[in-house]
Structure 1
Amino acid sequence: MCNHNPHLKDNAQKGQKASKGPSAKITDQHHDQEHTTWSRRSFMQALGLVGTGSIVVGGTNLSAASPSRLTTALANADSDRILVLIRLKGGNDGLNTIVPMYDYDFYAQSRPTIRYQENDLYNLSPDFGIPPSMDPLQSLWGNGQMKVVHGVGYPDSSLSHFRGSDIWASAQPDEIDDTGVFGRYFEDLYPDFLINPPDVPPAIQIGSSGNLIFDGDEAGYAFSVANPQQLEDIAENGVLHDVTNIPDCTFGDQLGFMRSVINTSFTYASTINEAYENASNAVEYGAGQLAKQLAIVARMIKGGLGTQVYLVTLGSFDTHANQLEEHAELLSDLSASVKNFYDDLNSVGMGENVLSMTFSEFGRRIYENGSNGTDHGTASPILMFGDGLNDQGFVGTHPDIQDPDPTGNPAFTTDFRQVYATVLKQWLCIDESLVDQILFGQTYEPLDLGFNCNALGITDVANTSGFQHLATYQGDQTFIEFTMPTTARVTVSLFNLLGQEVGKLKDEYTFEGPQRLNVKQSIRTRLRTGQYVYRISFNGKSYSKSILVR
């Protein structure tokens, strides 16, 4: 029996998804119909075969993760640069992170009980300071390894944790979209992942279950674990679950079987284990929540794992009450962990290749509330770290806290999509037109963050072909539709979910223009109703997608 999975998004939302581009020759109506009928991600989540799904056996909840399409993309990249995303979950208070010294009196009046005393602050410049809990960052700032991007947000900011998180992950404030920035890029760039999974995990995500940033239409494209202990177990042992010490009973048999299935689904466990064993930490990180995560990430990087995008999570920054102490503890973990992280990397000369950046779903209000805390707000700073920044500094304009928006919040001065565009184009060196495409056709002026791709000799990055294909349904018939950009020999094959080829639907020269194949009639063999994957190959490239055969 198939049970409803509460983590899955309502299919009605998929009908509101923005078009992937004006050049598509297949209608949005068919695209929406396909997703309403069948979503491989939804199916795999329901079975518990991806990071946000779970299987319950005898009351035991077991989580698993799927391989990532990011692997082929980033493993084949011309750059060895690494991006570490540090999610400050819950909504970080920007005014108590970067304190506006130039307007200290107004800041102090607005926060009589949660303000920092002026003489306790460390001045990054005459205009801005950081609280005592962030003292470990003084050396990073002094060594030119830190930048602050002021007032990051977007128009009409959502004050909801869930919607705000989705907006930051999808880069789409205006409509509901359940794909993420990285998910869209790699889904288009490496379209044959379902049949030809890569060998090395390019993205690793710790925590932030359900975050969309690595999600595409087909699956979540990051190797995901719920917490650092899970990743450490995998790194040390090559497996997630113990399959030897289980009860000697029927439940034990079931539990052992499911654990073995889940261990197998962690395709990259042995690769992660090898990298982990190849390196060690050169510094003591401490026991903080973020410290444990960055210690593991540093060891992966130093061990030559090859992963280029990491997401780590620190929370909760939802400081409605008792903010001064709780927020300081979080900032202390952040600051000490980042400092140790770069000291660790620089012990082997790798700090210049790693860029880290914080982000949070929103900031907090200017004025404190009646519980010695702050409520949900809007704009907040992004902190960036790494030798690749080439100098310390401030980017953008700090919000005028004496001139808030109509809701009493700091008005944003830097669009968060501008930050994304700069990092994607100038740090990861992704083709500019492709970045504009995954940011829904918008071009954002790059920020001066101190790095570019010219330093690596990268002047041109290959773009995707824009080949359009999908499954459509009419009555009890299933069709594959695609548009040939040129005349070429085309092979269309059908695979089951184990990756075994079921048969060929087409293998012949095909003229330029729209094509439509009836799956059951074309394959000439009996097919059971169920989920499959089709693969279209021509001109040395292959494209695959999930499909429901009725």
Structure 2
Amino acid sequence: MKRRDFIRRALCATASSALFTSFAGKLSLAHASALSGRRLLGNDYRALVCVYLYGGNDGFNMMVPTSSAQYAQYQASRGDLALPLADLLSLNPSVAPTGGGSFGMNPAMPLLRNLFNQAQSPLAITANVGPLLYPITKAEYQAGSAPVPAQLFSHSDQTLTWQQPNADAIDRRGWGGRLADMFYQTNVNQQLSMNISIDGENVFQAGNEVIPYFVGQDGAQSVDFVQTWNPERRAVFLALRDAAHGNALQRQYASVMRRSMDNEVMINEALDGETALSTAFPDTHLGRQLRMVARLINVRSPLQMQRQVFFVGLGGFDTHDNQLSDQAEQLAELDGALAAFHAATVEMGVDDGVTTFTASEFGRTTSVNGDGTDHGWGSHHFVMGGSVNGRRIYGTPPDLSAGGPDDADWGQIIPTTSVDQYAATIARWYGVPAGDLDTVFPNIGRFATSDLGFMAPA
């Protein structure tokens, strides 16, 4: 076996572990193997921003039916967790959603409601999305006659399933990573990874060749972890970093360390020279992350980047208890941060080239357990940006009645739109030709359409 093949295989195997994903991300290992697979070039700036809601956001208390019959079903299922009809912020879609009816937004989200209701809206809602292997009915689910993703309702498993390109994937590669493998040659700067995480380790951005680079909320993170007060230890570190000889592992370590330290200087110098944005971001965990994403987009020219994928995250959505108060707090943080980020993209003049979308491992049950909910399946999600066909509710909002046609059991709502379709619609806008979608999403042909319509043509 050739040395390069050995290194490639070793790195790809190790990249499947959470340890390497974290380690390599912080070391800015952008390309771990020789080129392989389909290569695409973009001729304009485009960025994706994944906002991951950890714990399983209750989409059914984020967007609530307000027409009489549908609200009655929701209220009967939710009991004390049902939001009062008078408190809901009315949504005014330009086209009636599939199945008809009217809807309102959680009262904690006035800014996003206003964005949705604008005449030229940058915000769309995709209804009842979840991991699927095939379209499935309640009868098929209960009879076990159609396959479903493994370990449904498990946080760790469904987090992986949501971030991977298909619900039966067996490796730890994400669909954002697959897009990066296809597009990274678009960027003049081949040293810095096009996938940047402000929230640490994730599978979504991990590709076969592109590994996410980690940036903190205030700038690039230093890997110069051996301080000057320990000269002997520092000397060993510098000798390893600067090694020109030694075995293959030493040389690879030295290469990675040098690249990481160079990237730290590159990013921080670009940020130091930026023209500051006037958009004010909320001083929240998500607000600070999205502010850093906006700053990195703002210095895309000196960094010589044309295609990028960003990852941010917000936790606290595992609302088994105190759901009404806890979710309201989390949704208010999401509301303020997303609205500020969109305003920043408009200020930079790149709103047409930036698409932001939410993801979460599952929704919540329509049934309640005291003052909270359990792990569900389908849920609603936001897509935001200047190229979004906004002011629309895409997909099919579910029947929320207890024991109804969309209730798998115990209030776990069966998705009517697959994550594959949701992601493929975004990937088409990013530049993946329709004929290449199955190279990123191998199961996409199992579903009725690969384009849900919420993005403008590529």
TM more than 0.5: yes
Alignment of 1:472-483 (within 5 A): none
1:440 corresponds to 2:442: yes
Which residue does the alignment assign to 1:481?
Answer: none
Asked if the contact 1:67/1:268 (under 8 Å) is kept, the reply is: no
- Identify unmatched segments of 5+ residues in structure 1: 1-33, 55-61, 454-550
Which residue does the alignment assign to 2:196?
Answer: 204
Asked if the contact 1:320/1:373 (under 8 Å) is kept, the reply is: yes
* Secondary structure in 1 matching 2:197: strand
Asked if the contact 1:366/1:408 (under 8 Å) is kept, the reply is: yes
| Aligned counterpart for 2:287 among listed residues 291, 303, 316 | 291
Which residue does the alignment assign to 1:41?
Answer: 12
Question: How far does residue 318 in structure 1 lie from its aligned partner after superposition?
Answer: 1.1
Question: How far does residue 224 in structure 1 lie from its aligned partner after superposition?
Answer: 2.8
The separation in 2 between residues aligned to 1:104 and 1:47, in whole angstroms, is 43
The separation in 2 between residues aligned to 1:163 and 1:181, in whole angstroms, is 16
* Secondary structure in 2 matching 1:367: strand
| Aligned counterpart for 2:205 among listed residues 214, 227, 233 | 214
Question: How far does residue 388 in structure 1 lie from its aligned partner after superposition?
Answer: 1.4
The separation in 2 between residues aligned to 1:325 and 1:406, in whole angstroms, is 26
The separation in 2 between residues aligned to 1:46 and 1:253, in whole angstroms, is 30
The separation in 1 between residues aligned to 2:18 and 2:63, in whole angstroms, is 44
* TM-score between the two structures when normalised by the length of structure 1: 0.64
Q: Deviations over 1:487-528 (max 9, x none)?
A: xxxxxxxxxxxxxxxxxxxxxxxxxxxxxxxxxxxxxxxxxx
Identify the structure with the greater helix proportion. Answer: 2
Asked if the contact 2:425/2:455 (under 8 Å) is kept, the reply is: no
Asked if the contact 2:131/2:161 (under 8 Å) is kept, the reply is: no
The separation in 2 between residues aligned to 1:200 and 1:254, in whole angstroms, is 26
Question: How far does residue 154 in structure 1 lie from its aligned partner after superposition?
Answer: 3.2
The separation in 2 between residues aligned to 1:339 and 1:401, in whole angstroms, is 29
Alignment of 1:175-186 (within 5 A): 175-186=169-180
Which residue does the alignment assign to 1:412?
Answer: 415
Question: How far does residue 359 in structure 1 lie from its aligned partner after superposition?
Answer: 0.8
1:164 corresponds to 2:164: no
Matched residue type, 2:23? G
Question: How far does residue 68 in structure 1 lie from its aligned partner after superposition?
Answer: 5.0
Cα separation, partners in 2 of 1:46 and 1:202, compared to 1, 3 Å? closer
Which residue does the alignment assign to 1:104?
Answer: 71
Cα separation, partners in 2 of 1:221 and 1:421, compared to 1, 3 Å? same
Question: How far does residue 263 in structure 1 lie from its aligned partner after superposition?
Answer: 5.8
* Secondary structure in 2 matching 1:366: strand
Cα separation, partners in 2 of 1:40 and 1:263, compared to 1, 3 Å? closer
Question: How far does residue 176 in structure 1 lie from its aligned partner after superposition?
Answer: 2.5
The separation in 2 between residues aligned to 1:117 and 1:423, in whole angstroms, is 34
The separation in 2 between residues aligned to 1:69 and 1:407, in whole angstroms, is 45
Matched residue type, 2:266? T
Which residue does the alignment assign to 1:346?
Answer: 346
The separation in 2 between residues aligned to 1:178 and 1:344, in whole angstroms, is 33
The separation in 2 between residues aligned to 1:274 and 1:200, in whole angstroms, is 14
Cα separation, partners in 2 of 1:175 and 1:385, compared to 1, 3 Å? closer
Higher relative contact order structure (alpha carbons within 8 Å, sequence separation ≥ 6): 2
* TM-score between the two structures when normalised by the length of structure 2: 0.76
The separation in 2 between residues aligned to 1:47 and 1:146, in whole angstroms, is 33
Question: How far does residue 353 in structure 1 lie from its aligned partner after superposition?
Answer: 1.8
Which residue does the alignment assign to 1:271?
Answer: 266
Question: How far does residue 148 in structure 1 lie from its aligned partner after superposition?
Answer: 0.4
- Identify unmatched segments of 5+ residues in structure 2: 93-100, 133-147, 243-253
Q: Deviations over 1:312-356 (max 9, x none)?
A: 111121111111111111111111011111112212322222111
Which residue does the alignment assign to 1:449?
Answer: 454
Question: How far does residue 297 in structure 1 lie from its aligned partner after superposition?
Answer: 0.7
Question: How far does residue 185 in structure 1 lie from its aligned partner after superposition?
Answer: 4.6
Asked if the contact 1:233/1:240 (under 8 Å) is kept, the reply is: no
Matched residue type, 2:53? L
Matched residue type, 1:183? G
Matched residue type, 2:293? V
Alignment of 1:369-518 (within 5 A): 369-370=369-370, 372-402=371-401, 403=404, 404-425=407-428, 427-440=429-442, 442-443=444-445, 444=447, 445=449, 446-453=451-458
The separation in 1 between residues aligned to 2:352 and 2:438, in whole angstroms, is 27
1:173 corresponds to 2:167: yes
| Aligned counterpart for 2:22 among listed residues 22, 32, 52 | 52
* Secondary structure in 1 matching 2:422: helix
The separation in 2 between residues aligned to 1:347 and 1:424, in whole angstroms, is 25
* Secondary structure in 2 matching 1:333: helix
The separation in 2 between residues aligned to 1:127 and 1:185, in whole angstroms, is 36
| Aligned counterpart for 1:79 among listed residues 36, 41, 44 | 44
Asked if the contact 2:219/2:292 (under 8 Å) is kept, the reply is: no
Cα separation, partners in 2 of 1:358 and 1:247, compared to 1, 3 Å? same
* Secondary structure in 1 matching 2:62: coil
Q: Deviations over 1:203-239 (max 9, x none)?
A: 2112252x3223234x5522134xx34xx231xxxx5
Question: How far does residue 254 in structure 1 lie from its aligned partner after superposition?
Answer: 5.7
Matched residue type, 1:279? T
Question: How far does residue 381 in structure 1 lie from its aligned partner after superposition?
Answer: 0.9
Asked if the contact 1:68/1:223 (under 8 Å) is kept, the reply is: no
Cα separation, partners in 2 of 1:44 and 1:411, compared to 1, 3 Å? closer
Matched residue type, 2:114? S
* Secondary structure in 2 matching 1:340: helix
* Secondary structure in 1 matching 2:327: helix
The separation in 2 between residues aligned to 1:441 and 1:108, in whole angstroms, is 36
Alignment of 1:113-124 (within 5 A): 113-124=80-91
Aligned residues: 396
Which residue does the alignment assign to 1:18?
Answer: none
Asked if the contact 2:28/2:192 (under 8 Å) is kept, the reply is: no
Question: How far does residue 96 in structure 1 lie from its aligned partner after superposition?
Answer: 1.0
Question: How far does residue 282 in structure 1 lie from its aligned partner after superposition?
Answer: 1.4
CA RMSD of aligned residues (A): 3.5
Moved more, 80-89 or 432-441: 432-441
Matched residue type, 2:265? S
User: After the TM superposition, which segments of 4 or more aligned residues of structure 1 sit over 6 Å from their partners?
Assistant: 44-48, 72-75, 188-191, 255-262
Identity among equivalent pairs (%)? 27
